[in-house]
Amino acid sequence: MKDRALKEQRKHGEPGLPVSCYRIRPPYYNMVQLECHWHDEIELFEVSRGTARIQCGSSHFTAREGDLVLFNSGELHAAQPLDHGGMEFQAVVFGPEMLCGDESDVSRARYVTPLLDGRLQVPRVIRREAGKEPLEKFGEILELLERRTPAYELRVRARLLDIFAYFAAAGELRGETGEAASCQAVKSAIDYIHSHYQRQITITELAQLCHMSGGHFCRMFKKYTLKTPVQYINSVRLSSAMELLSHTDRKVLDIAMDTGFNSLSYFIGVFKESFGCTPTQFRKPKAFSQPDISLPEKEESPGTL
């Protein structure tokens, strides 16, 4: 999936119906992943093929085919494939207003507002084997948004409410977690990377931006993004390079220089390590080896249904 700035700028849905659906499939092995980002909308994310390493805020866990994950509004989130077959996913992204009315609405006061401000802690994932009803409703939302049958707007809202009720019923009201400052610092660093990836970026300047030591910054950055700062910078540069390789006939050397890589050999090495092919092979696809993706050494247990 194409990298975007830290805060996603895409508008989901339309005025009066802020909801959109997406089905993402790779054109090549292992090229689909959801880079760390955030948006104001809530997202329901289903792994439709493969196994994914999921990051929600500072929590990391595994989601398998058919599992449904909830990403909260304003939350840093990411997903990476964990097997050689790659990953496919589908998502419904919607504004919180799809779940409630104005300030006098009891649903807003009891459930939606506490979710948005982090006081309502809901399970992160509905497992396929345990949540047949919400998973069926998720599939119905995708179909309704694609076909737009009569009164589909009402049916989409009704099914979103049903799924959210499933999460909220298992939720727990808690105090603030105290992680807001660290999370915001990482957001600032990623935003800076997206704005300056075409030039050299050092760990020192990112750490200073976040008012952290270099070591602490690297630990916090990986905690929230699943990647080291260098890996993340390279992923942003590679995304831009892929766009140029796909849509222009510019020389590979020029693309490498313009996307922040300081040498052609380093660009080719990083590209091949990430995608299993060289930039030239990507431009003219043919058989190539699949990159090795290792399972994480440690992961947290998410709240599940």
Q: Residues of the chain with pLDDT > 70: what percent?
A: 85
Across the range 90-107, mean pLDDT stands at: 90
Q: Which of 79, 72, 4 is nearest to 42 (CA)?
A: 72
Specify the higher pLDDT residue, 57 or 68.
Answer: 68
Q: Report d(CA 251, CA 245) in Å as an integer.
A: 9
**84 against 298, higher pLDDT:** 84
Closest CA to 257 of 200, 205, 189, 201: 200
Domain total in the chain: 2
- pLDDT at position 11: 58
Neighbours of 91 (CB within 10 A): 21
In 3-state terms, what secondary structure has residue 62? strand
Mean pLDDT of 200-215: 92
pLDDT tens readout for residues 1-52: 333 344 455 556 677 899 999 998 776 544 578 888 888 899 999 999 999 9
The token duo for 151 is 């009164």
80 has which bridge partners? 53
* Confidence check: pLDDT of 148 > 90: yes
CATH no. for residue 227? 1.10.10.60
Across the chain, mean pLDDT equals 85
Whole-number Å distance between alpha carbons of 35 and 239: 10
Q: Rounded to two decimals, what is the model's pTM?
A: 0.70
Tokens standing for 60?
């990391």
Structure tokens at 111: 């459930």
Is 85's pLDDT higher than 60?
A: yes
149-159 pLDDT tens trace? 999 999 999 99
Output the pLDDT for position 29.
Answer: 45
- At residue 259, the pLDDT reads 95
CATH, residue 156 = 2.60.120.280
Interval 83-111 mean pLDDT: 88
Q: Are residues 162 and 220 in the same domain?
A: no
Question: Could you tell me if 245 and 158 lie in one domain?
Answer: no
Is 191:224 a contact under the CB 8 Å cutoff? Answer: no
SS3 122: coil
Range of the domain at 67: 19-173
pLDDT (average), residues 55-76: 91
Mean pLDDT of 262-276: 90
Average pLDDT of 83-96?
Answer: 88
Single out the residue in 151, 173, 195 at which a domain terminates: 173
Considering the domain architecture, whether residues 161 and 219 belong to the same structural domain is answered as: no
Q: Is residue 289 part of a domain?
A: no
Answer whether residue 162 is part of any domain: yes
pLDDT of residue 93: 96
Confidence of residue 144 (pLDDT cuts 50, 70, 90): very high
